[in-house]
A = this chain, B = another copy of it.
Amino acid sequence: MVQDRQSVTQIPKRDENFSEWYTQVALRAELADYAPIKGFMAIRPYGYAIWEAIQAWLDRRFKETGHMNAYFPLLLPESLLQKEAEHVEGFAPQVAWVTQGGDEQLSERLAVRPTSEAIILPMYAKWIQSYRDLPVLILQWNSVVRWEKSTRLFLRTAEFLWHEGHTAHRTAEEADQECRLILGIYKELLEDVLAIPVLVGIKPPRERFAGADNTYTLEALMPDGQAIQAGTSHYLGQKFAKAFNVKFLDSDNQEKYIWSTSWAVSTRLIGTLIMAHGDDHGLMLPPKIAPYQIVIVPILGKDDGKVLPAAKDLAKALGTRFRVKLDDRDAYTPGWKFNEWELRGVPVRLEIGPRDVTGRKAVLVRRTGGAKETVSLDGIADRIGRVLDEIQAEMFRRSKTYLDSHMAEASSLDDLVRKMEQVKGFVRVGWCETQSCEDTIREKTGASPRAIPLDTKATGACPVCGKSARVFVYYARAY
């Protein structure tokens, strides 16, 4: 069947057709596939393994910081969704509605959850009585549906996987601290694990989560110059507490509304990962998240009898410390396998042939490029440990260099328009915080405000109205 598989060379060049390159990498690396229902996708085992690695890392960090997993219903009665006015306005146009159960026409429509505030807060109203019951630090891993007809694998689908955290606190300060804690965990995930540098900040009002008082965001920059939102953490204030009547008796014997937060990252991160690191050969995965960190390809020469057992021994020895794939399929040539595993982004390839077995060595090739190197089988695990660390660091450094070289500041509207074109990245301007000035910038640049940096004092003037800037804003074109 070798001849039926399309070869790697048929992937478009990344910089010639970024969009088609992206889709082909996602499909050919077997991360995901289109499902027989418009707007939906199936996540294949190799793609899902990346998600499991993300989940495992986050689950550990969330539990270390006192959070617990739980599960809430998939369906939300319309009357509950309507309780918070801004919230329903934001989500209703995207809702898939269940109207029939078995043979019965339902008296009330049920929303397939687009997000779960409206089903979780009513439970919190039952569970929280006293300040002693706070904080409540719960999240759930599930899928949500937001009606879309177009599909871009991982980036825009009618259903996606995520976690959604929902916490309840005694004070506003504590809720805000929770948002910042989560933002920090997400930043660590993006930068230290996925090797993707991010800008962090808050969203301007119009870009906030529907119903939130404040939305913290992480923004990454893709090689086509477009920004992508990589995660959000919402400070909901008391809006949802009031809408769902979630109160507690404080130590001063007063009844008070709780302060709540919600936060999420989704399988969109896998799309971000593809774009951030991929090249003309396909996917490139950071070692910390790669389902296979090492692939071993035996090169069977005349001395076949020794190579395969040696490759198996090597796989077994390395398997105690790394995630290893031994590709011992006999229907494919070594060259075909090299292409295949480059396409699938495995960080390190080890080739082992008859002469290597005799000489107790193997050939090591890095997915990030560079010369082939010959390594001794003695002490190979330590050597590979160092190589994987180097690859992880190298991938972050490359992405960081790219981000840093695609950032600029603008001092006037003309300057902003020009820099947006030249820089193809994030351009920072001052802002007076009036909506009309933001609207003007959006219109003139085709860009949107991505983030207001935290703890940065603005200087200069708003480029539209000329009044004093109250904050800085990063603008970019975006996914």
Q: Which A residues lie at the B interface, using CB under 8 A?
A: 1, 4, 33, 35-37, 40-45, 47-49, 51-52, 68-77, 80, 92-104, 109-110, 112, 119-120, 122-123, 126-127, 129-130, 132-133, 138, 142-143, 145, 147, 158-159, 161, 249, 329, 331
| 17 A-B pairs (CB sep. < 8 Å) | A35-B73, A35-B122, A42-B119, A43-B71, A45-B68, A45-B70, A48-B70, A73-B159, A75-B159, A96-B98, A96-B100, A96-B101, A96-B110, A98-B112, A99-B99, A100-B109, A101-B158
User: Given the complex, which residues of B lie within 8 Å of A329, measured CB to CB?
Assistant: 132
- Most chain B C-beta atoms within 10 Å of own C-beta, residue among A102, A130, A143: A102
- Residue pair B75, A145 in contact (C-beta under 8 Å): yes
- Residue pair B147, A102 in contact (C-beta under 8 Å): yes
| Residue in B40, B93, B96, B126 whose CB lies within 8 Å of A33 | B126
- Residue pair B98, A70 in contact (C-beta under 8 Å): no
With both beta carbons as reference points, the residue of chain B lying nearest to A144 in the complex is identified as: B74
- Residue pair B94, A102 in contact (C-beta under 8 Å): yes
- Residue pair A123, B93 in contact (C-beta under 8 Å): no
User: Given the complex, which residues of B lie within 8 Å of A71, measured CB to CB?
Assistant: 42-43, 48, 51, 143, 161
User: Given the complex, which residues of B lie within 8 Å of A102, measured CB to CB?
Assistant: 92-96, 147
With both beta carbons as reference points, the residue of chain B lying nearest to A79 in the complex is identified as: B36
Once A102-B147, A159-B73 are accepted as A-B contacts, the answer to whether A138 and B37 lie under 8 Å apart by CB is no
Chain B proximity of A447: nearest CB distance (Å): 27
- Residue pair A110, B74 in contact (C-beta under 8 Å): no
- Residue pair A35, B98 in contact (C-beta under 8 Å): no
Q: Once the chains are docked, how many angstroms separate the CA of A70 from the CA of B51?
A: 10
- Residue pair A48, B68 in contact (C-beta under 8 Å): yes
With both beta carbons as reference points, the residue of chain B lying nearest to A43 in the complex is identified as: B71
Q: Once the chains are docked, how many angstroms separate the CA of A352 from the CA of B213?
A: 46
- Residue pair A42, B123 in contact (C-beta under 8 Å): yes
| Residue in B48, B70, B97 whose CB lies within 8 Å of A99 | B97
Chain B proximity of A327: nearest CB distance (Å): 13
| Residue in B51, B93, B96, B99 whose CB lies within 8 Å of A75 | B96
User: Given the complex, which residues of B lie within 8 Å of A122, measured CB to CB?
Assistant: 35-36
Q: Once the chains are docked, how many angstroms separate the CA of A207 from the CA of B131?
A: 51
- Residue pair A143, B74 in contact (C-beta under 8 Å): yes
With both beta carbons as reference points, the residue of chain B lying nearest to A40 in the complex is identified as: B73
With both beta carbons as reference points, the residue of chain B lying nearest to A46 in the complex is identified as: B68
Q: Once the chains are docked, how many angstroms separate the CA of A219 from the CA of B47?
A: 36
- Residue pair B112, A112 in contact (C-beta under 8 Å): yes
Sample of 5 further A-B pairs with CB below 8 A, known A36-B77, A75-B145, A112-B112: A33-B123, A45-B68, A74-B159, A75-B96, A100-B109
- Residue pair A1, B35 in contact (C-beta under 8 Å): no
User: Given the complex, which residues of B lie within 8 Å of A51, measured CB to CB?
Assistant: 71
- Residue pair A112, B147 in contact (C-beta under 8 Å): no
- Residue pair A93, B103 in contact (C-beta under 8 Å): yes
User: Given the complex, which residues of B lie within 8 Å of A42, measured CB to CB?
Assistant: 70-73, 119-120, 123
Q: Once the chains are docked, how many angstroms separate the CA of A80 from the CA of B40?
A: 15
5 A-B pairs closest in CB distance:
A45-B68, A97-B100, A1-B130, A40-B73, A43-B71
- Most chain B C-beta atoms within 10 Å of own C-beta, residue among A37, A73, A119, A126: A73
With both beta carbons as reference points, the residue of chain B lying nearest to A119 in the complex is identified as: B35
Chain B proximity of A398: nearest CB distance (Å): 30
Chain B proximity of A249: nearest CB distance (Å): 7
- Residue pair A145, B99 in contact (C-beta under 8 Å): no
Chain B proximity of A1: nearest CB distance (Å): 4
- Residue pair B48, A69 in contact (C-beta under 8 Å): yes
With both beta carbons as reference points, the residue of chain B lying nearest to A39 in the complex is identified as: B101
With both beta carbons as reference points, the residue of chain B lying nearest to A244 in the complex is identified as: B36
Chain B proximity of A135: nearest CB distance (Å): 13
Chain B proximity of A225: nearest CB distance (Å): 31
- Residue pair A35, B159 in contact (C-beta under 8 Å): no
With both beta carbons as reference points, the residue of chain B lying nearest to A106 in the complex is identified as: B96
User: Given the complex, which residues of B lie within 8 Å of A73, measured CB to CB?
Assistant: 35, 37, 40-42, 159
Q: Once the chains are docked, how many angstroms separate the CA of A129 from the CA of B3?
A: 12
- Most chain B C-beta atoms within 10 Å of own C-beta, residue among A35, A109, A138: A35
- Residue pair B331, A132 in contact (C-beta under 8 Å): yes
